[in-house]
Structure 1
Amino acid sequence: MTYALITGASKGIGLSMAHALASRKYDLLLIARSEQELTAAANELRNKWQVEVAWLAIDLSSPEAAARVAEWAGRYPVSILINNAGYGVWGNFSDRSLSEHQQMIQVNAETPVALCHHLLPVLRQQPQAYILNVSSTAAYQAVATLTLYAATKSFMLLFSRGLRQELKKSNVSVTCLCPGPVKTNFIDRAGMQAIKETADKYGMLADDVADIAIKGMFRKKAEIIPGAMNVVTAFMTRIVPKAIVEAVAANLYKTR
């Protein structure tokens, strides 16, 4: 069996996707920042599914991170690349430091693009391979106070769809996952405690999102939006005037 490489794999959707793939007997390459969390995740996956699990603790906000990950992963037969790592910086654009914005752009957009570029030659060596890029329903409209986060997610959606077209006659299928709110640590890391209660109430479980994502990836779907309400919301952004959609989003995510 070949390996699946997953970034942001130590918890949340990333860990849930690792379990979904391990249940299908894929061996795993886990990438995240925390060595302690990766060790715990690897042990959990090995014990439950009896698969091989290797991990690399690395900060994906470093411009050199993708090359280091690719070099490390080069010894393994990788057939699945899941770019799941990402986070948000919440607040008015000018109120947050430029370095905070740039680090987020690196993790959410630049590192995933670099990993796709580095690993495509490896993926092409397999009979069938997959790339799953994780975006967000924030990709479908501008979101004030999450301005750059939404922009990075829109970028990943368009990048994924374009790359999919380029590779449509190859053995590599490209899918983009666009989840809505998920019950993970995203809210805490972004400092969005003001809307935590709402997110917890309406957010999907990570296991459910991961199950939908992995099934959709293997079905070679171009775009996956988990949850009926999220599908409707994404569709509405196409037919409702942008000014209205953006005003609603701005009110939902405004700083208190």
Structure 2
Amino acid sequence: MTEDSAGDFAFRYGPSALVTGASSGIGRSFARLLAEAGLDLILVARRLDRLEELAAELRCRHGVGVTVHETDLSDPAAVDRLLGKEATTDIGLLVSNAGFGVKGPFEDGDADTLASMLAVNCQAPTRLAHALVPRLRRRGRGGVVFTSSVEGLLGCPYSAAYSATKAYVNALGEALWGELTPAGIDVLTLCPGATDTEAPRLQGIDPATLRHLMDPDDVARGALENLNNGPIYVPSEHYRAQFDTLVTMPRRQALAAMAASLRV
């Protein structure tokens, strides 16, 4: 960002941004870019040591205020506790980025893990937006970013529950874009494809085997640059073209082709 554009960004979306899932990956990239733009930050994740290390870096490098909250968003009460601590903070931007996924045949997934995924991927963004949208309406400006996935654009075999959670996020983001844009509030649902984060490794995937792998900094930067171009943003040209083709195919044909290519 130029100095002028950073100033405009800070006026529209500042003075403070709340970023969940900020300890690594795309969330950490969002935090660094927002600090560079001059926004104070509220960083949320489960790993306090990583949050504190990032906060120290951003305070030193950019001179912004940074508050960290060690929070497990699978707890239904976590959002209320978090926002209760930030009740007087002027939050102009919500980046609801925390999430995780599991791969493999649906019936092989652990039921408790799937329930936790629903809580983090669906309930937490809903609770965060529900609590913060009234604040944004009172301000008359601001923004919401939901980190979703291209897998939310179509039911993905061998990623059934995860793609279902992301389909929910896409629908939530699109609906809120329609509701909030007239009020001066930008809403963007970010749908990355394969990105060089911890997520592939945690799912048992070697990132070296993934083609068209994106850098998390590029993903986050693209989202912020397109924040007023919602409702959906797919940063990868490859995945944008791939899913544009899939969603225009007869549904049965697209799903059968995906299942055949992913079957293990």
Which interval holds the TM-score relative to the shorter structure? over 0.9
- Equivalent of residue 230 in structure 1, options 239, 255, 258: 239
Offset from partner CA, 1:155-202 (integer Å, 9 cap, x none): 100111111112232132211111111000011222334xx4322x42
CA–CA separation in structure 1 for the residues paired with 2:29 and 2:130: 25
Displacement of 1:220 in angstroms is 4.0
CA–CA separation in structure 1 for the residues paired with 2:44 and 2:263: 32
Q: Residue 220 of structure 2 corresponds to which residue in structure 1? A: 210
Displacement of 1:232 in angstroms is 0.6
Offset from partner CA, 1:86-124 (integer Å, 9 cap, x none): 110122222122111000011011110011001112222
CA–CA separation in structure 1 for the residues paired with 2:60 and 2:202: 29
Q: Residue 179 of structure 1 corresponds to which residue in structure 2? A: 192
Displacement of 1:251 in angstroms is 4.0
Displacement of 1:252 in angstroms is 4.4
CA–CA separation in structure 2 for the residues paired with 1:61 and 1:43: 26
Moved over 6 A (4+): none
RMSD of the alignment, in Å? 1.5
C-alpha distance 240-91 of structure 1, shift in aligned 2 (>3 A): same
CA–CA separation in structure 2 for the residues paired with 1:209 and 1:77: 26
TM-score when scaled to structure 2?
A: 0.90
Equivalent pairs counted in the alignment come to 251
The runs of 5 or more residues in structure 2 that have no matched partner are 1-13
Equivalent position amino acid for 1:206 in 2: P
Offset from partner CA, 1:31-63 (integer Å, 9 cap, x none): 000010101111111112111110101111111
CA–CA separation in structure 2 for the residues paired with 1:254 and 1:45: 43
- Equivalent of residue 197 in structure 1, options 162, 183, 208: 208
Q: Residue 176 of structure 2 corresponds to which residue in structure 1? A: 163
Identity %: 31
Q: Is the 8 A contact 2:140 2:183 kept in 1?
A: no
SS at match of 2:138: coil
Displacement of 1:127 in angstroms is 3.8
Q: Is the 8 A contact 1:13 1:210 kept in 2?
A: yes
The runs of 5 or more residues in structure 1 that have no matched partner are none
TM-score when scaled to structure 1?
A: 0.93
Q: Residue 248 of structure 1 corresponds to which residue in structure 2? A: 257
Q: Residue 6 of structure 2 corresponds to which residue in structure 1? A: none
